[in-house]
């Protein structure tokens, strides 16, 4: 009897270990999120991300490009023109100049906080391959007490690659104009449903539009779907402008990495969004006011499929929908997001359930955007 109990106990332990191992095996979506997050792609240098997007889009769509390098994937040839957008670029920098003793200064690309820059690891994409760099920080032993709590201005921060001269920098293949990205790897945060990594703004959106395209291509939809992976969003929404001019959409849906208000130190009026509480929708941001009827459609769709939907209004936030809504005489747009903690820094945190639910909402919305629905959304005739 004791032997049977022991065998049963061991069997349970083996089964539990097997179940835990199975739970830790990354699925296709997790693997895609990792690949997108770890890819290098500051504004104007989105090549690595573009390769991933094209590879994933090709089985389901015809591919074209605009003149700034945005990818436009079309699925469907009749019905309303629906633009589903996410941007490929991330915050980064460009090597500005080299010093005689082998350091480099950096021009920042995008909305960095100065306090996020010192004592970090970076990758310079040089002519001979990636070069590891660190940004310096003044040693505490030499810093006067009254300066220890002050933020170091970005123009006083240099990149250190271990070189001793400009000649050694040249031998490494590093020169002014080379792109720079944060060095930050993807990880599942301690067995939770949260993923930590860089560039969730907007690689999480890139993954959403890829998964939505895959599912819609399989199930069908009543429109011409244009999935745009745009360039240079972080420096002025530039790729969205040229992509939208090319597509001339009837409806625009932008997918972004949102912002949360559930981490310590925030103010209640900044954001009410919480990680893991569902995807989000911006009712207002500094660049765009969404179409009210399209917002209502998003709300109805989320409720119909049983998905939570969080709402927020944000100052100091801009997104591609601001340019999409101006294209072709104007298009109703909305900005849907996967909430992210710690955006515009080396390490952001997203929640997998928020991601999955947003894909569900986007797919369900696009299936509802048939010709009569789109005509109603675009009709601004005053009621008699």
pLDDT category at 203 given cuts 50, 70, 90 is very high
Q: Is 2 strand, coil or helix?
A: helix
Asked whether residue 128 falls in the same domain as residue 61, the answer is no
- Residue at 22 is within a domain: no
- Residue at 37 is within a domain: yes
Query: Which residues does the annotation mark as catalytic?
Result: 233
In terms of residue numbers, what domain contains 365?
A: 27-90+198-377
Rg (C-alpha) for the chain, rounded Å, is 23
The confidence score (pLDDT) of residue 22 equals 43
Q: Please state, in angstroms and rounded to a whole number, the distance separating the CA atoms of residues 176 and 355.
A: 38
Asked whether residue 81 falls in the same domain as residue 107, the answer is no
pLDDT for residue 107 is more than 70: yes
Average model confidence (pLDDT) across the chain: 91
The confidence score (pLDDT) of residue 97 equals 95
Q: What are the tens digits of pLDDT across the range 124-140?
A: 999 999 999 999 888 88
- Residue at 177 is within a domain: yes
Q: What are the tens digits of pLDDT across the range 154-200?
A: 888 999 999 999 999 999 999 999 999 999 999 999 999 999 999 99
The confidence score (pLDDT) of residue 94 equals 97
Asked whether residue 359 falls in the same domain as residue 369, the answer is yes
Asked whether residue 293 falls in the same domain as residue 150, the answer is no
Tokens of 280: 């989000």
Tokens of 342: 């710690």
Asked whether residue 248 falls in the same domain as residue 357, the answer is yes
Q: Please state, in angstroms and rounded to a whole number, the distance separating the CA atoms of residues 171 and 250.
A: 52
- CA 217 vs. chain centroid, Å, equals 23
More confident residue, 23 or 294: 294
Q: What are the tens digits of pLDDT across the range 147-156?
A: 888 888 888 8
Asked whether residue 242 falls in the same domain as residue 177, the answer is no
Q: What is the CATH number of the domain that holds 228?
A: 3.40.630.10
Tokens of 194: 């949260």
The confidence score (pLDDT) of residue 149 equals 84
Q: What are the tens digits of pLDDT across the range 323-344?
A: 999 998 999 999 999 999 999 9
Q: For tokens 């400009």, what's the residue?
A: 166
Asked whether residue 144 falls in the same domain as residue 62, the answer is no
pLDDT for residue 8 is more than 50: no
**Cα three-residue angle 270-275-276, rounded to 5 degrees:** 145
Number of domains in the chain: 2
Asked whether residue 80 falls in the same domain as residue 163, the answer is no
Pick left, alpha or beta for residue 114 (phi over 0 → left; psi -120 to 50 → alpha; otherwise beta).
alpha
Asked whether residue 85 falls in the same domain as residue 218, the answer is yes
Residue 127: CA count within 13 A, CB half-sphere: 9
pLDDT category at 43 given cuts 50, 70, 90 is very high
Q: What is the CATH number of the domain that holds 125?
A: 2.40.30.40
- Residue at 316 is within a domain: yes
State how beta strands 81-87 and 251-257 pair.
parallel
- Residue at 263 is within a domain: yes
- Residue at 21 is within a domain: no
**Cα three-residue angle 298-301-307, rounded to 5 degrees:** 100
Asked whether residue 362 falls in the same domain as residue 241, the answer is yes
pLDDT for residue 146 is more than 90: no
**pTM summary value:** 0.90
């Amino acid at each position: 009897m004791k032997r049977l109990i022991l065998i049963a106990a061991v069997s349970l332990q083996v089964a539990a270990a097997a179940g835990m191992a199975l739970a830790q095996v990354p699925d296709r979506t997790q693997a895609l999120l990792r690949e997108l997050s770890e890819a290098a792609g500051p504004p104007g240098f989105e090549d690595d991300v573009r390769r991933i997007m094209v590879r994933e889009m090709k089985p389901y769509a015809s591919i074209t490009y605009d003149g700034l390098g945005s990818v436009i994937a079309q699925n469907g040839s009749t019905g309303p023109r629906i633009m589903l957008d996410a941007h490929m670029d991330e915050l980064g920098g460009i090597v500005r100049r080299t010093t005689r003793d082998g350091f480099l200064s950096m021009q920042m690309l995008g909305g960095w906080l100065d306090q996020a820059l010192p004592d970090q690891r970076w990758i310079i994409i040089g002519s001979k391959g990636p070069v590891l760099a660190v940004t310096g920080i003044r040693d505490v032993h030499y810093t006067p007490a009254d300066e220890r709590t002050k933020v170091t201005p970005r123009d006083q921060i240099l990149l250190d690659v271990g070189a001793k001269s400009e000649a050694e920098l040249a031998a490494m293949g590093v020169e002014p104009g080379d792109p720079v990205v944060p060095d930050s790897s993807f990880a599942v945060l301690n067995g939770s449903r949260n993923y930590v990594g860089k560039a969730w703004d907007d690689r999480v959106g890139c993954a959403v539009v890829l998964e939505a395209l895959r599912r819609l291509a399989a199930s069908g939809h009543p429109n011409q779907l244009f999935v745009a992976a745009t360039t240079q969003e972080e420096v002025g929404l530039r790729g969205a402008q040229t992509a939208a001019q090319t597509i001339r959409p009837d409806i625009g849906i932008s997918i972004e990495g949102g912002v949360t208000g559930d981490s310590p130190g925030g103010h209640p009026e900044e954001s009410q969004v919480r990680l893991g509480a569902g995807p989000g929708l911006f009712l207002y941001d500094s660049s765009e006011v969404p179409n009210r009827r399209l917002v209502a459609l998003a709300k109805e769709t989320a409720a119909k499929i049983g998905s939570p939907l969080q709402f927020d209004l944000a100052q100091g936030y801009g997104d591609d929908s601001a340019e999409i809504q101006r294209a072709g005489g104007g298009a109703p747009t909305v900005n849907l997001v996967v909430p992210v903690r710690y955006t515009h820094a080396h390490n952001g945190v997203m929640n997998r359930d928020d991601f999955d639910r947003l894909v569900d909402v986007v797919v369900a919305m696009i299936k509802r955007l048939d010709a009569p629905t789109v005509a109603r959304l675009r009709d601004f005739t005053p009621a008699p």
